[in-house]
Amino acid sequence: MTLVIMAAGMGSRYGGLKQLDPLGPGGEFLLDYSIYDAVKAGFNKVVFVIKKENLELFRETVGERIEKAVKVEYAFQDIADIPENGSIPEGRVKPWGTAHAVYCCRNYVSEPFAVINSDDFYGAEAFKCLAEYLGKEESGSAQPHRYCMAAYMLKNTLTENGSVSRGVCLDKDMNLTSITEHTKIERLSDGRLINTEDDGSQKELNENLHVSMNCWGFTPEFFGTLEKGLVRFFDENKGEKLNKAEYYLLTAVQDEIDAGTATVKLLETDAKWFGVTYKEDRPKVVEAIRKLIADGVYPEKLWA
């Protein structure tokens, strides 16, 4: 099984390359803890999706210290890596979104795989659930296009330092039926959770809703889905609209659900997420890691 880590974003709200911000006592990055948990759960390869210009930086700071524990490969999210029908509008600089990031590693993955963000802490339980589910796929005991997702409770995925963007999930018998991006969720002083809509209106959310933290499990057939989706993406977006549009993982997944070509099992976890969405999050994350080390969850020097 392979772990795909999306690490091409610069983190505009955080400021800088937050994927490579040392947060652990041994200089570990947040993604080190995800890799450690994944390897313990049974993953045997890591593919980083990065910008090509960051290759040496990733290799020197991350790759060299984890490659003794797991096979490491690098895929590049290149704006020009698109289907033949696509065209790059003048002025377009940033890549095409999270679905495109995963598409860019199609030549490195031929087995069931998980996908995560590089700047989120997911907890060991998430990787155990993914490994158990994907292990069935790897052994051939399940059908293609049977995906999975670690489902977090909304209340466990918030920051005190601003709003967050979350994919709110609806399900039937823990099979995902719909996922809707809510881009500005925050807890008010009265304790309510509110999402501010694009038109300025506010919608109250149940704190126990399942949300996506981009912690997915896929079979290799998903790459075909992404290619078809990218073709459709370029057909539907033209001119100035294409200059701003992005193709998201949740869109690709929702399209398959709506077409009836895939199922997505929600793997519920009560783990508490933490991450560095904002610079102000950093001290809390450092504190949380130190507590996990004190509780014996992680060694003080992760790769010693």
| Range among 61-65, 83-87, 113-117, 141-145 with highest mean pLDDT value | 113-117
Q: Label residue 138 by pLDDT band (50, 70, 90).
A: low
pLDDT tens readout for residues 143-190: 668 999 999 999 999 988 889 999 999 999 999 999 998 989 999 888
Q: Rounded to two decimals, what is the model's pTM?
A: 0.90
With a cut of 70, say whether residue 140 has pLDDT above it.
no
Q: How much is the pLDDT for 14?
A: 38
CATH of domain 2-143+213-260+272-294: 3.90.550.10
The predicted-structure confidence for 219-278, as pLDDT tens digits, reads as follows: 999 999 999 999 999 888 887 888 888 999 999 999 999 999 999 999 999 888 888 888
Two structure tokens written together for 278 = 């904002």
Average pLDDT, the chain: 88
The model's pLDDT over 102-111, given as tens digits with 9 standing for 90+, comes to: 999 999 999 9
Q: Classify 92 in phi/psi space as left (phi over 0), alpha (psi -120 to 50) or beta.
A: beta
